[in-house]
Amino acid sequence: MTLLALMNAPSFPEAKCVDKDNLDFFFPDSQVELTQRLPRLLELCNSCIHITACRTFAIENQETEGFWGGTTPEQRKPLMKPKEVGTKRFREIQEYLSRGLTKEEIAIKLRVQVASIDRNLERAKRKGFTQ
């Protein structure tokens, strides 16, 4: 998930996702995972009083990954400005790494597993965002 998104996201103490221990649930790594999780994601988001504010935040902040406000990245894409090169999550991880944080420290801040950080870095490398 994107670090800046979590840092800049409005506080929604009553949000349904607040109770999730592992926020990676909202960031499936594949279409298969998304398909498997979609019923539960929709159930959580559709029963949340913050669904509209969450969706608006994701669109305004060009969140190109994850399930926000009951929407997939594909559903939000037409509503966003043109995408910058790279991904926000990758740039955020790179920023923290450049500040000297370890992957373990970043994972703790993001409330994800180190494997999620590794997957994001590997995906960015495959897409040519790194050398």
pLDDT tens digits for range 59-75: 887 888 889 999 999 99
With a threshold of 0.85, does the pTM exceed it?
no
Is the confidence at residue 39, as pLDDT, over 90? yes
What proportions of the chain, in percent to the nearest 5, are helix, strand and coil?
A: 60, 0, 40
Whether 1 has a pLDDT exceeding 80, the answer reads: no
Stretch 50-67: mean pLDDT: 87
Distance of alpha carbon 11 from the chain centroid:
16
